[in-house]
Structure 1
Amino acid sequence: MKSHTTSAASEGLIDVHAHALPPMFLAAIEAAGGDPSGFPSPDWSPQAAVNSLNLSGASLGILSISAPGVSIAGTGQAARNLARALNAQLASYATSSETSSRLSFFGALPDWQDVNGTLAELDFLFSQQKLCKGVTVFTSYGSYLPSDPLFKPIWDRLNHYRALIFLHPTTLDIIPRFVAGGLPQPVIDYPIATTRAVVDIIFSGIMRDYTDIDIILSHAGGTLPYLANRIECLLLNPALANLASISLEDVKASFAKLYFDTALSTSAAQLDSLLIFTNPDRVLFGSDFPYAGREAIAAVLEQYYAFVATNTRGSALRPEVLRENTLDLLARHEHRDD
């Protein structure tokens, strides 16, 4: 794999889509019978995360707990304890003398079906610990999408803390669960889960009403850039528009507010579609390490740098542009004292 190592920590990309697999998380997955998405848990360590940053030419990685997240432990006290332990472990990577200059994190939350536990963890992250760059939110919790009225207190609290949200796909409870006789859901279903969740969030009015949050969509927004015009055009049908509780103008404004990472999404088809759909200042770098291994990251980086060098839109996504986009977004969501 070609190295894109930068000359100083103050330069280079910022990886907003890099996962951590602390031992306690792996133990919880094993105790539950494995990852329900069908994807095998890869090897991970803090040093491996730093090595991946070096190979990508990234100076900073923002770690997150990937699907299935804390939900793997249910919705009781054991799951609350797991969320707290994971946030303590993530904070240790962000403050350790060996990795603090290279690693930060998005906080882990309990399954949102445990509303009170989620509110308590948000208070811990933003009022006590004050180290996370934002929080990871999943595309569904059990049979609930993120905008369900059950979760309104959580959105209220997220907006109160001006939280940056990293929206990550999780397992779809569908039959059959896997295509092609066992292909893990991250291959095909995760981009669809992302699209369903963000459309749900937008059509519920969350992006319109909660003005102090921002949302990063994984994997270039799933299929949203491709389907957005279809959604807008169908809302011109009065019968369908009457089913929505949000205007076409508000839908378009909500689309424009979203951020997108490039994890496993750097082909010309994907990046061209993304730049047709949104402005370049909404695009951030992501690797999906370690679920994307060295070979996959090498391939997407090669595609990315080829796009920058040869595509007529390529200069809009130069590494320094993606870095500045991320720095601006993180500055908007720095912790404040309330």
Structure 2
Amino acid sequence: MSCDTPGYLDVHAHFVTDSYVRQARAAGHELPDGVPAWPTWSATAHLELMDRCAIETAMLSISSPGIHFGDDTAARRLAREVNEAGAETVREHPGRFGLFASLPLPDVDGALEEIAYAYDDLNADGVILETNTHGNYLGNGDLEPVWAELDRRGAVVFLHPTSPVCWERSALGRPRPMIEFIFDTARSVTDLLMAGTLERHRDLTVIVPHCGGALPVLADRIDGFMNMFMPPRPESPTAVEQLGRLYYDLAGPALPRQLPALLGLAGTDRLLYGSDHCWTPAAAVQAHIAGLDSAPAPEGAVSWRALTTANARRVLPRTPRRSTESPS
């Protein structure tokens, strides 16, 4: 790859720590979301994959099942622990990693405290919010103080799916990331639309994973139901317009079918690259990038790599570029 070809900026990358996995297992997540095993992670191995795939920077976050296992005090403690671990990794590898901090939702007071610490002390790049926590979805009115504070800070909010509370019946014994994650993403974003959260808080930058999940094919249906069942407000944007203002990462099997559907909803300036590593194995990450790098770019773009990286640098403007002298 030529030296003037940009390295991807990966907005959907995960890490785990031994302590986090131990605490999650103790809380009953031995097989997280029905996946056969927990992944292992190290900054060294992650960087080796990034170098093989020409990924310049990866934004680290904790994936599902999140950090709240039923006890507010324990969740506050675990949020602080993983956020400090992520921030340390960022400091140790300048220009290679960023951090989306975890919040102990649905504990509102704990979340507000952690937002302040993550931004003011850890210099986090944004926050990650699970699509639901113990059945509390993101449009829940109790979470309004959290959204207001994130909006005040002009935060980047990365949404991540998790298992719905009904997974024992709906997943049919299969790994929940296959189908349940996709529909829980649609469920939570729809909740934000119906609650008016996205309309009230327009200074947020919201990133929806996995090409928007089921949203591209459900957008018109959601819009129609909002028109039928919500009080008419002619000045308000439609659901489709609001969805078009969000950002979408391309993690998962974006091609050949899901990405074209997303392009019908969101413009090319709303698309970002995501690997979903370490939950997605290295070989699958390499195959996904090879597919994107070989796919024809949309009109007006040099490549998917150049397009998504330029978009990500606009969304995350303070993400430093690695110099040739920076350690990796």
TM norm structure 1:
0.86
The 1-side partners of 2:101 and 2:234 are apart by 30
What is the CA-CA distance between 1:171 and the residue it aligns to?
A: 1.2
Identify if the C-alpha distance between structure 1 residues 235 and 202 changes in structure 2 by more than 3 Å, giving closer, same or farther: closer
**Within the alignment, does 1:150 sit opposite 2:142 as a pair?**
yes
How far does the alpha carbon of each residue in 1:273-324 deviate from its partner, in whole angstroms, 9 at most, with x for none? 1112110010000000011112322332233223236xx6594752111111
Structure 2 residue matching 1:42: 3-state secondary structure = coil
The 2-side partners of 1:106 and 1:246 are apart by 36
**Within the alignment, does 1:68 sit opposite 2:60 as a pair?**
no
The 1-side partners of 2:182 and 2:148 are apart by 27
Structure 2 residue matching 1:104: 3-state secondary structure = strand
The residue type paired with residue 87 of structure 2 is: A
Q: Which residue does 2:314 correspond to in 1?
A: 328
Q: Is contact 2:190-2:222 (8 Å) kept?
A: no
Structure 2, gaps ≥5 residues long: 321-328
**Within the alignment, does 1:103 sit opposite 2:97 as a pair?**
yes
Structure 2 residue matching 1:101: 3-state secondary structure = coil
Q: Residues 168-317 of structure 1 correspond to what in structure 2 (within 5 A)? A: 168-174=160-166, 176-177=168-169, 179-180=171-172, 182-235=173-226, 240-242=228-230, 249-308=237-296, 315=301
The residue type paired with residue 53 of structure 2 is: S
How far does the alpha carbon of each residue in 1:159-186 deviate from its partner, in whole angstroms, 9 at most, with x for none? 1211100000011111534645x32101
Identify if the C-alpha distance between structure 1 residues 123 and 35 changes in structure 2 by more than 3 Å, giving closer, same or farther: farther
The 2-side partners of 1:161 and 1:19 are apart by 23
How far does the alpha carbon of each residue in 1:1-47 deviate from its partner, in whole angstroms, 9 at most, with x for none? xxx7x748x93110010100112211111211324411221111111
The residue type paired with residue 110 of structure 2 is: G
The residue type paired with residue 103 of structure 1 is: F
The residue type paired with residue 168 of structure 1 is: H
Identify if the C-alpha distance between structure 1 residues 333 and 298 changes in structure 2 by more than 3 Å, giving closer, same or farther: closer
Q: Which residue does 1:94 correspond to in 2?
A: 90
The 1-side partners of 2:88 and 2:319 are apart by 21
Identify if the C-alpha distance between structure 1 residues 231 and 148 changes in structure 2 by more than 3 Å, giving closer, same or farther: same
What is the CA-CA distance between 1:128 and the residue it aligns to?
A: 2.6
Once the two structures are overlaid, the 10-residue window that deviates more, 219-228 or 246-255, is 246-255
Identify if the C-alpha distance between structure 1 residues 31 and 235 changes in structure 2 by more than 3 Å, giving closer, same or farther: closer
What is the CA-CA distance between 1:252 and the residue it aligns to?
A: 2.9
The 2-side partners of 1:245 and 1:195 are apart by 23
The 2-side partners of 1:80 and 1:245 are apart by 39
Identify if the C-alpha distance between structure 1 residues 145 and 86 changes in structure 2 by more than 3 Å, giving closer, same or farther: same
Q: Is contact 1:178-1:185 (8 Å) kept?
A: no
What is the CA-CA distance between 1:249 and the residue it aligns to?
A: 3.1
Structure 1, gaps ≥5 residues long: none
Structure 2 residue matching 1:69: 3-state secondary structure = coil
The 2-side partners of 1:123 and 1:45 are apart by 27
Identify if the C-alpha distance between structure 1 residues 278 and 44 changes in structure 2 by more than 3 Å, giving closer, same or farther: same
Q: Is contact 1:139-1:145 (8 Å) kept?
A: yes
Identify if the C-alpha distance between structure 1 residues 244 and 17 changes in structure 2 by more than 3 Å, giving closer, same or farther: farther
Q: Is contact 2:20-2:82 (8 Å) kept?
A: yes
RMSD (Å) for aligned C-alpha atoms: 2.5
**Within the alignment, does 1:38 sit opposite 2:34 as a pair?**
yes
The residue type paired with residue 51 of structure 1 is: E
Structure 2 residue matching 1:135: 3-state secondary structure = strand
Q: Which residue does 2:324 correspond to in 1?
A: none
What is the CA-CA distance between 1:227 and the residue it aligns to?
A: 1.2
**Identity %, equivalent residues:** 29
Q: Which residue does 2:151 correspond to in 1?
A: 159
The 2-side partners of 1:246 and 1:195 are apart by 25
The 1-side partners of 2:111 and 2:213 are apart by 26
Identify if the C-alpha distance between structure 1 residues 175 and 221 changes in structure 2 by more than 3 Å, giving closer, same or farther: closer
Q: Which residue does 2:325 correspond to in 1?
A: none
The 2-side partners of 1:115 and 1:320 are apart by 39
What is the CA-CA distance between 1:245 and the residue it aligns to?
A: 8.2
The 1-side partners of 2:242 and 2:171 are apart by 32
The 2-side partners of 1:314 and 1:140 are apart by 37
Q: Is contact 2:67-2:75 (8 Å) kept?
A: yes
Q: Is contact 1:308-1:314 (8 Å) kept?
A: no
**Within the alignment, does 1:29 sit opposite 2:29 as a pair?**
no
What is the CA-CA distance between 1:215 and the residue it aligns to?
A: 0.5
The 2-side partners of 1:89 and 1:20 are apart by 10
